[in-house]
Chains A and B, each alone.
Chain A
């Protein structure tokens, strides 16, 4: 009788242990998923730039200064080492791209160009995806970090070597999670 009880207790504990472990893995994987999503979108962004520069040149050739700035900042994104540096460089790029879109207002032919429209949409799409993925990454990292530091999962994290993950630093005017008050 007592052996049965011991066996049952051991099985239950094993299940709890496995559940907690899997839960940590899930958090970590989802955070990684978002960080790789950021990488993918940044890559797409930098691939779009040469095309954009070519298109704008065709209509607004004397905006050389702005365009060379775009190219320079794009190369910064490509050459940056860590994800954090990439994201920072991309934020600067976004600023200059806004100027390019504002420029297009004074070139009706450029504005009406289909390819330019497509590039604009793609660039704002990738920009949004980067910012969504970054926010999602941070909230996921927060969940994960809290989980590996609180009992009982801190024990499991120690045993299996789960390490803290770092937040991606947020640029100046970042939208915080709005506080819901009921």
Chain B
């Protein structure tokens, strides 16, 4: 069961790579054509920038994600004894190394796991979750996160966050390129087929806006590629770890009653959390990062009761 999940996650990683490569190639050739009259040049530069950016993000992922979400590291058992002890218990049963633990100061109850692999993993909970849940529920939530660590979900999500933040970064650059390419007092004759600089700026503006809109959109497409099924799987394997599905069921019930979105949450890492931190309500479920809590509770009950 768990090994099939790990294999599936490895396949998904390749799929994500391919999709992003195509998107980046598109952006790259556009940059090349538009700014340098040289498609290949733009392509190569873009891919190098994206690769470097992605690698840095991948190897620094835990630090970056934790900073983005304003998390504080827990350094000893004294700081949060029950949290620390529960993670100890679960890692013992799951047979993975002890991860880093973080607490995010936020009243909205939530949690996530991140990292490259079980050896470089981190688990974070918000102070709101920590206060709201009793020990059994906390165990349920943490078992869900530890399952994400054990079955390499965290690697898939880390890679996709790294890649989507690279794309968002490029979008941002292009969105702001007009400032560098065409300063306000620029009245040089441009040999761009007679279009006045105002028109070119308008086009640049438009493209910038489109890319800026596309960035988060791409991120959500990726989150769909990772598939919301991961959450169901982590729910079930978490309940197997604790041998107590009721803990997680109660925790999900409590999460359902809390409608407070998080104060400081980074869009790109929204899909990491156990429950949607943005509390978005879409018309369709197509762009949801998370399956509805009701469905998850029902699935758990069906699996175990």
- Complex interface: chain A residues within 8 A of B76 (CB): none
Given contacts A180-B240, A181-B303, contact A121 B81 (CB under 8 A): yes
**1/0 contact trace for B211-241 toward A, CB 8 Å?**
0000000000000000000000000100110
Identity of the chain B residue whose Cβ is nearest the Cβ of A182 in the assembled complex: B303
Query: B89 contacts which of A121, A132, A179, A181 (Cβ < 8 Å)?
Result: A132
Q: CA separation between A37 and B88, bound complex, in Å?
A: 12
CA of A46 to CA of B29 in the docked complex: distance in angstroms? Answer: 70
Interface size on A, residues (CB 8 A): 21
In angstroms, Cα B240 to Cα A181, docked, is 12
Find out whether the CB atom of B302 lies under 8 angstroms from the CB atom of A181: yes
Contact, CB under 8 Å: A133 / B92: yes
A132 interface neighbour in B92, B239, B240, Cβ under 8 Å: B92
- A-B pairs under 8 A by CB, number: 48
Chain B positions within 8 Å of A176 at CB level: 243
Could you say which of A121, A122, A128, A178 contacts B240, with CB atoms under 8 Å apart? Answer: A178
- Complex CA gap A121/B81 in Å reads 7
B-side interface residues, number (CB < 8 Å): 19
Where chain A touches its partner, the secondary structure class is helix
Q: Is B135 close to A, CB under 8 A?
A: yes
Chain A residue numbers with a CB within 8 Å of B93 are 132, 135-136
Does B135 contact A129, Cβ atoms closer than 8 Å? no
> Could you say which residues of chain A place their CB within 8 Å of the CB of B81?
118, 121-122, 125
Contact A177 B240 (CB under 8 A): yes
Say which residue of B92, B240, B302 sits within 8 Å of A136 (CB atoms): B92
Residues of B within 8 A of A177 (CB): 240, 243
Roughly how many angstroms separate A33 CA and B80 CA in the complex, as a whole number? 27
Min distance, Cβ A160 to any Cβ of chain B, angstroms: 24
In contact, A128 and B302 (Cβ under 8 angstroms): no
Residues of A within 8 A of B239 (CB): 178
Chain A residues near B85 (CB-CB < 8 A): 121, 125, 128-129
Chain A residues, CB < 8 A from B267 = none
- The reply to whether the CB of A175 lies closer than 8 angstroms to some CB of chain B is yes
Scoring B residues 77 to 113 as 1 if CB is less than 8 Å from chain A, else 0, what string do you get? 0000110011011001101000000000000000000
A 89-127 contacts with B by CB, 8 A: 118, 121-122, 124-125
17 A-B pairs in the complex with CB atoms less than 8 angstroms apart:
A30-B95, A118-B81, A121-B82, A124-B135, A125-B81, A125-B89, A128-B85, A128-B89, A129-B85, A129-B88, A133-B92, A178-B239, A178-B244, A178-B303, A178-B304, A180-B304, A181-B302
Q: Apart from A176-B243, A179-B304, A180-B240, list 13 A-B contacts with CB within 8 A.
A: A121-B81, A124-B135, A128-B85, A128-B86, A132-B93, A135-B243, A175-B243, A177-B243, A178-B243, A178-B245, A178-B304, A180-B304, A181-B302
4 tightest A-B CB contacts, nearest first = A125-B85, A178-B304, A175-B243, A121-B81
